[in-house]
């Protein structure tokens, strides 16, 4: 059983899967505590905010309500959309054992992606695409795990200033395990975008822009 904050259809706007019609499954609870987090309503799975599955599947706003759902109930919900790519996000989805859910979704014909901070061991079906957005030195006190980095298919790193590049380099990411690193300009600022272009060009990395914001979707 997993605590689900929301399920909605959109276009994946970031990194390698950018442009892919996707069903986003947002799980509740995250201990990482990034100060700039735009999903603070997902941080705590407060029993007082538990609601019915029907309320969660009908939800259209960012709120701290959540419902406990089994993998089969989640499958039924995502089958109600047209997209055949499922993005499991949070919150921190890797805080949970995602083997049963990712296996069921993949065996049912979906491709599956997990977006995680890299601070937890990643328990997923081997065909799951794992995007690590490393959260380094956050107030929650968790560290980015080597085993998470080794499981990642790509890294997506938000960059606002040169120190953000230094933090990423300090992880000593093994290149043989990490074929693609995406730098994502913070808030699409001109300065951050210029820095991302410079660093990506110098290091043969990539630049990820949040295309969903240009498309005007969530």
Q: How far lies 127's CA from each of 20, 106, 122, 145, 156, in Å?
A: 17, 8, 13, 20, 19
Judge whether 147 and 123 are in contact, CB under 8 Å: no
Give min distance, CB of 135 to ligand SF4, in A: 5
Please report how close the Cβ of residue 38 comes to ligand SF4 at its closest, in angstroms. 7
**Residue 175: which residues within 8 A CB-CB, separation 6 or more?**
none
- Binding status of residue 93 toward ligand SF4 by CB under 6 A: no
Choose, by CB under 6 A, the member of 17, 85, 135, 156 that binds ligand SF4: 135
Contact flag: residue 167 with ligand SF4 (CB under 6 A)? no
Binding piece for ligand SF4, criterion CB under 6 A, among 30-38, 52-60, 173-181, 191-199: 30-38
Taking CB under 6 A as the criterion, the residue among 7, 15, 16, 32 binding ligand SF4 is 32
Q: What is the DSSP string of 68-134?
A: EE-HHHHHHHHTTSS--EEEEESS-GGGS--HHHHHHHHHTT-EEEEEE-S-S-----TT-EEEE--
Please report which helix (H) or strand (E) contains residue 206, including its range. Answer: strand 206-207
Strand partners, 2: 69
Q: Given the rule CB under 6 A, which of 11-19, 89-97, 157-165, 174-182 is the region that contacts ligand SF4?
A: 89-97
Task: Tell me how far, at minimum, the Cβ of 33 lies from ligand SF4, in Å.
Answer: 5
* Cis, bond preceding 91 (omega within 30 deg of 0): yes
Q: Rounded to whole angstroms, how far apart are CA atoms 65 and 57?
A: 11
- Least separation in angstroms between residue 151's CB and ligand SF4 is 17
Query: What residues make contact with ligand SF4 under the rule CB under 6 A?
Result: 30, 32-34, 37, 39, 42, 90-92, 117, 135
Task: Output the known binding site for substrate.
Answer: 11-13, 26, 89
Task: Output the known binding site for S-adenosyl-L-methionine.
Answer: 36-38, 91, 133-135
Task: Output the known binding site.
Answer: 11-13, 26, 30, 34, 36-39, 89, 91, 133-135
């Amino acid at each position: 059983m997993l605590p689900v904050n929301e399920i909605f259809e959109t276009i994946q706007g970031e990194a390698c899967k950018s442009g892919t019609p996707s069903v986003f499954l947002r799980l509740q609870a995250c201990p990482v505590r990034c100060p700039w987090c735009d999903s603070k309503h997902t941080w705590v799975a407060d029993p007082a905010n538990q609601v019915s599955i029907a309320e969660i599947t009908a939800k259209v706003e960012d709120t701290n309500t959540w419902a406990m759902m089994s993998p089969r109930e989640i499958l039924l919900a995502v089958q109600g959309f047209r997209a055949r790519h499922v993005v499991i996000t949070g919150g921190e989805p890797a805080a949970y054992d995602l083997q049963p859910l990712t296996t069921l979704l993949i065996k049912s014909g979906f491709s599956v992606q997990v977006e995680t901070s890299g601070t937890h061991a990643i328990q997923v079906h081997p065909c799951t695409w794992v995007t690590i957005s490393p959260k380094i030195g956050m107030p929650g006190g968790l560290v980015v795990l080597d085993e998470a980095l080794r499981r990642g298919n790509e890294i997506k790193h938000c960059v606002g200033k040169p120190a953000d590049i230094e933090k990423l380099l300090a992880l000593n990411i093994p290149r043989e395990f990490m074929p693609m690193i995406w730098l994502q300009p913070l808030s699409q600022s001109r300065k951050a975008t210029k820095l991302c272009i410079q660093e990506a060009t110098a290091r043969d990395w990539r630049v990820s822009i949040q295309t969903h914001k240009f498309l005007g979707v969530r």
